[in-house]
Amino acid sequence: MAYEHDASMMNNLYWWGIPTLFRTPHIPLDDARLAEVDIGLVGVPHSSGNGTTEKDQHLGPRAVRNVSAVQHRVHGEFNLDPWSAAQIADIGDVPFPKANDNEDSIERITAFYQELDRKAVRPVSIGGDHSITGGIVQALGNGHLTNGEPVCFLHLDAHTDVFTKVDHFLGAKKSAAHWGAYLADQGQVDPHHSMQIGLRGHPRTLDWLQPSYDYGYNIVTMAEYRQRGALDVIAEIKDVLAGRPVYITFDLDCLDPTIAPAVANVEAGVCGFSIDEARGLLHAVRGMNIIGGDVVCLMPTKDQPNHITSLVAGAVMFEMIAMMAENHKAKV
């Protein structure tokens, strides 16, 4: 009892104890207790899908584990304790024995998440570069959690990741630049009921948005967001995604670099979202059928000494967790 009392005093100190995501219990993929888990937190330490020198994105899951205990909190705005509203566990990391082989890694991600989907565990993941979304949604699209329907994205990002002009990105075929296209081609995502929000910066070509338009994605650039205002964009999100199986994918580069400096492919020329603006967009799907989400493109080796970008990544994960836990509580 004395130890339990002492531990309870230490649990919200990120530098104490064994670092699981948000100080949740560790329940591996092959553990029988997984059948009791509602929301599974997963690390995806993969960085060969970006195809650039920005390779340290595989360190993202460990960086967030190291600091996220401090974010094991109640949600004041929702008046909710997500940790008691649902069974939440750290499932661990997807293993990558051939980590430098992007195509092998993407298929290993898919196999890992297929097991979660079979057990009806809703995943919230920390990457890893943005290619992980392709591997995850290959498993979830048309699966158990979506009731056989394709996924509909709430995608916050500075970039479209719907690149169809090149066959590969520096050797990676199912890359961080391609998942928005090949998932649509494979029928695992419904672009017509998906949103891409926050696209910004001076592009490499003037037709950079055209592939997204061709697929039918609903696009709101950062310039359009500023012109229309948050409430109008939130109303569109609600209209487009209502009644659909929603998957949230959040690239940290949608945030302003002053808020999240340690990201890959940073867009510094145009202001990105503030954290409050991003939270407002995420809350647009509150109460909807959120089947999973991810946070990607964290570069811990570029972070500030106070780990601000890792803390921001954890904060975004927390919003996803809270909305999904609230949904679970409402059903039981």
Task: Report d(CA 21, CA 42) in Å as an integer.
Answer: 8
Residue 279 has pLDDT above 70, yes or no: yes
Q: Is 168 inside any structural domain?
A: yes
- The mean per-residue pLDDT over the stretch 276-288 comes to 98
Model confidence at 1, in pLDDT bands (50, 70, 90)? low
Model confidence at 53, in pLDDT bands (50, 70, 90)? low
pLDDT for 54: 73
Q: What is the pLDDT of residues 6-42, one digit of tens each?
A: 777 788 788 888 899 999 999 999 999 999 999 999 9
Task: Report d(CA 197, CA 272) in Å as an integer.
Answer: 11
CA-derived radius of gyration, the chain: 18
pLDDT for 3: 64
pTM of the model: 0.96
Residues with Cβ within 8 Å of 196's Cβ and at least 6 positions away in sequence, in order, are 153, 155, 157, 160, 162, 180, 212, 217, 218, 219, 220
Partners of 75 in the beta sheet?
80
3-state secondary structure 103-154: HHHHHHHHHHHHHHHHCCCEEEEEECCCCHHHHHHHHHCCCCCCCCCCEEEE
Q: Is 19 inside any structural domain?
A: no
Average pLDDT taken over every residue of the chain: 94
Q: Is 17 inside any structural domain?
A: no
Residue 205 has pLDDT above 90, yes or no: no
Q: Which of 157-161, 165-169, 252-256, 262-266 has the lowest mean pLDDT?
A: 165-169
Number of structural domains found in the chain: 1
* CATH code where residue 161 lies: 3.40.800.10
Percent over 90 (pLDDT), the chain: 83
pLDDT for 65: 97
SS3 250: strand
Residue 58 has pLDDT above 80, yes or no: yes
- The mean per-residue pLDDT over the stretch 288-304 comes to 97
- The mean per-residue pLDDT over the stretch 143-170 comes to 90
Model confidence at 158, in pLDDT bands (50, 70, 90)? very high
Model confidence at 318, in pLDDT bands (50, 70, 90)? very high
Question: Regarding predicted confidence, which is higher, 19 or 167?
Answer: 19
Task: Report d(CA 219, CA 236) in Å as an integer.
Answer: 10
pLDDT for 165: 75
Contact of 270 with 200, CB cutoff 8 Å? yes
Phi and psi for 254 in degrees, rounded to 5? -70, -20
Q: Is 74 inside any structural domain?
A: yes
pLDDT for 298: 96
pLDDT for 230: 98
Residue 51 has pLDDT above 70, yes or no: no
pLDDT for 52: 61
Partners of 126 in the beta sheet?
43, 295
Q: What is the pLDDT of residues 73-101, one digit of tens each?
A: 999 999 999 999 999 999 999 999 999 99
Q: Is 258 inside any structural domain?
A: yes
pLDDT for 130: 94
Q: Is 234 inside any structural domain?
A: yes
Residue 261 has pLDDT above 60, yes or no: yes
Q: Is 68 inside any structural domain?
A: yes
Domain hosting 79: range is: 2-11+25-331
Residue 242 has pLDDT above 70, yes or no: yes
Q: Is 105 inside any structural domain?
A: yes
Q: Which of 29-38, 142-151, 169-178 has the lowest mean pLDDT?
A: 169-178
Q: What is the DSSP letter of 23?
A: G
